[in-house]
Structure 1
Amino acid sequence: MMLTELRYFLALLEAESFGRAAKSLRLHVSTLSRAISRLEDKLGVSLVERGPSGIKITPAGRIAFRHVQQLVKDASALAETLARNGSGEYGKIRVGFYLLLLNKSLTTLLFEWHGTYPDVNVTPYEAGEDSLHMALRNNRLDVVLIPDFQMHNYEEGLPIYSEQLIGVLPNDHHLAKKPALNWSDFDGERILLSARETEGLYSKLLAIRIAGGDFLPLNASTLSTLPFVRAGYGIMIAAEPYAKMNFADLSFIPLAENDAYFNINMAWRPQNEDPVVGKFVAFMRDRTNRLRSRPQTYAPPENPDLPA
């Protein structure tokens, strides 16, 4: 049974005559009549009674009408969905991350994407870097947001934004009154490292910058470590978005150093042929093309946030 014949049947009932229906469909009356006859033969029933004054729907035709109407509607919806998915305008993007997603540039990008492609859902997935890498390789994630010092694990990547580093101290700490900190201020200090920071930030950046720091790795998230900072067990170096969370009795002080930042990159599998993923990557690339390309070293960013 052809979908075309079902559409002809609906058009015939709407026009109430073969002549008017054929005209609306731009067909010869004989062509339309043969198509309806074929449909009746396939269904094994008479759908309409033909007469000189027009057509009259049969009881079987009334039953068929309800089902055919829904079938044609569902077929049209399916075709539209497939077309939109094929063009990357409908579907889902699974985004993995392991750092706090409060950066202004990132939220602006996601807001603009949602406004441009409202039918593509973006679902977040938080995990450690090893878990993210495996999930991306196994196609459980479409893209991941990864610091530049972890990009050696990935084939394709695009710098999206930069995170400035800040010091996190109890309000009564002797450094808390300073308007800005230098790397040398951390010499001799007990520096608490969350599990996520130990995965790369320490070995790739902090240990090089703070030769005299007393680092204490913890098997805890950054948020879970902050109460211990407040209790006086040590201080932290964290990404700037944590300062926006307004933790009581803690001071968040910027680092006045040209190399106190790291890039966040979006990585994906180049083998992924999903058009939705392709459109998402292209959107992010086009939107961030004003961000000056930098080598993967720690040099001063002109602006840690993407220009608006």
Structure 2
Amino acid sequence: MEIHQLRYFVAVADEGNFSRAAAKVRVAQPSLSQQIRKLEAEVGQPLFDRLPRSVVLTEAGRCFIDYARQILASIGDARRCVDELKDAVTGKLAVGAIATIAPYVLPELVKKFHKDYPEVTLELVEDVTDGITRRVELGELDVALASTCQQSPSLRRESLGHEPLLALVPQADPLAKQALVELDDLKSQRFLLLHEMHCLSQQVHHLLESRRLRPEIALAGSQLTTIAHMVAAGIGVSIVPHMMVKHQESPGCVSLPFAPPVPERELNFLHNPLRFQSKAAAAFHREAAALLSGDDSSTADDVKN
């Protein structure tokens, strides 16, 4: 069993197509197909079902895929361990972030990181929490930025602080004239939230349930930008993170801080403690912590549009 065969196998599994996989790993398709057949001959079972327009993992392939990913991640760790003998911070770093953090934190963070560590190549992945944590555990991501998640032997979270949540209301709504808002002020409103696959949606649901509020959910969306446009149109209200208000203009909306106790979400740095942690990963952790700890997110003047 060869390392390149495992790389090809994972690429085909990810792409669901031999041609796209070949392009991804930069090899001719006939060569890739031949190596997959050799791998299947060695394991003694087909790893893919070849369908007319795609390929999908067989039961054996589904069993084999996680081990293949772990082997490739371990090889990458071994290379990084050797690279660490050098003084310079170099190499590749795969960074993940959830969708309610990525567009507001990564641009500034990546810009500064590239300035401070120009010899590190960053690979960025944006996904929902379940996808991010799975990728960290499998070794596909070296580090990640997320909010709520469960720790495991292969997933460690380190708090980077807490961020207040804000009410987002239409500019024409009477609530928009208030300096502060309470959750009870929103109980008769229709809510526009992210789909439940997003941890922010789960956090808001738990927040409402803790206050025994069961408002009408008028929309479950996939992006905060879409939610903001719907709020501006007067369709309902939402609860959003402060970083969205700070970094994204939302015409037609007014963001209001909550009266104490202020609802918050935790911001976490994720990594796999079973894997080798490179100098680049440690540097990214430091820069993320510095950026988020320096984010002044407490004053009403800053958050009211």
Asked whether the two chains share a fold, i.e. TM above 0.5, the reply is: yes
Instruction: State yes or no: 1:120 paired with 2:123.
Output: no
Cα distance in 2, alignment partners of residues 240 and 144 from structure 1: 20
1:133 is matched with: 133
Residues 168, 115 of structure 1: alpha-carbon distance in 2 compared, 3 angstrom cutoff:
same
Residues 216, 202 of structure 1: alpha-carbon distance in 2 compared, 3 angstrom cutoff:
farther
Contact 1:93 1:123 in 2 (8 A): yes
Q: Deviations over 1:53-106 (max 9, x none)?
A: xxxxxxxxxxxxxxxxxxxxxxxxxxxxx65675570012222112134667x7
- Tell me the number of residue pairs that the alignment of Structure 1 and Structure 2 aligns: 211
Superposed displacement of residue 175, structure 1: 0.8
Residues 242, 278 of structure 1: alpha-carbon distance in 2 compared, 3 angstrom cutoff:
closer
Contact 1:97 1:144 in 2 (8 A): yes
Superposed displacement of residue 180, structure 1: 1.8
Q: Deviations over 1:5-42 (max 9, x none)?
A: xxxxxxxxxxxxxxxxxxxxxxxxxxxxxxxxxxxxxx
1:231 is matched with: 233
Cα distance in 1, alignment partners of residues 135 and 84 from structure 2: 26
Cα distance in 2, alignment partners of residues 230 and 240 from structure 1: 17
Contact 2:151 2:157 in 1 (8 A): no
Instruction: State yes or no: 1:255 paired with 2:258.
Output: yes
1:208 is matched with: 210
Give the counterpart letter for 1:179 in structure 2.
Answer: A
SS, match of residue 225 in structure 1 = helix
C-alpha RMSD of matched pairs (Å):
3.3
Give the counterpart letter for 1:129 in structure 2.
Answer: T
Contact 2:192 2:227 in 1 (8 A): yes
Give the counterpart letter for 2:137 in structure 1.
Answer: R
1:186 is matched with: 186
1:100 is matched with: 101
1:13 is matched with: none
Give the counterpart letter for 2:268 in structure 1.
Answer: N
Superposed displacement of residue 235, structure 1: 0.6
Cα distance in 1, alignment partners of residues 134 and 276 from structure 2: 19
2:303 is matched with: none
Superposed displacement of residue 108, structure 1: 6.5
Residues 271, 247 of structure 1: alpha-carbon distance in 2 compared, 3 angstrom cutoff:
same
Instruction: State yes or no: 1:245 paired with 2:248.
Output: yes
Contact 2:133 2:155 in 1 (8 A): no
Moved more, 264-273 or 218-227: 218-227
Within 5 A, what are the aligned runs for 1:30-41?
none
Give the counterpart letter for 1:141 in structure 2.
Answer: L
Cα distance in 2, alignment partners of residues 285 and 97 from structure 1: 12
Contact 1:160 1:284 in 2 (8 A): no
Give the counterpart letter for 1:100 in structure 2.
Answer: I
Contact 2:93 2:280 in 1 (8 A): yes
Give the counterpart letter for 2:101 in structure 1.
Answer: L
Contact 1:190 1:215 in 2 (8 A): yes
Superposed displacement of residue 172, structure 1: 0.8
Cα distance in 1, alignment partners of residues 175 and 289 from structure 2: 42
Contact 2:129 2:199 in 1 (8 A): no
Residues 116, 281 of structure 1: alpha-carbon distance in 2 compared, 3 angstrom cutoff:
closer
Contact 1:92 1:276 in 2 (8 A): no
The runs of 5 or more residues in structure 1 that have no matched partner are 1-81, 292-301
Superposed displacement of residue 171, structure 1: 0.9
Cα distance in 2, alignment partners of residues 303 and 212 from structure 1: 32
The runs of 5 or more residues in structure 2 that have no matched partner are 1-81, 299-305
Superposed displacement of residue 284, structure 1: 5.1
Residues 122, 83 of structure 1: alpha-carbon distance in 2 compared, 3 angstrom cutoff:
closer
Contact 1:92 1:121 in 2 (8 A): yes
Give the counterpart letter for 2:149 in structure 1.
Answer: Q
Contact 1:88 1:279 in 2 (8 A): no
Contact 1:229 1:235 in 2 (8 A): yes
Contact 2:84 2:278 in 1 (8 A): no
Superposed displacement of residue 113, structure 1: 3.7
Residues 198, 209 of structure 1: alpha-carbon distance in 2 compared, 3 angstrom cutoff:
same
SS, match of residue 246 in structure 1 = coil
Cα distance in 2, alignment partners of residues 183 and 126 from structure 1: 30
Q: TM-score, normalised by structure 2?
A: 0.58
Superposed displacement of residue 279, structure 1: 2.7
Residues 282, 220 of structure 1: alpha-carbon distance in 2 compared, 3 angstrom cutoff:
closer
Give the counterpart letter for 1:169 in structure 2.
Answer: V
Superposed displacement of residue 117, structure 1: 2.0
Moved more, 203-212 or 171-180: 203-212
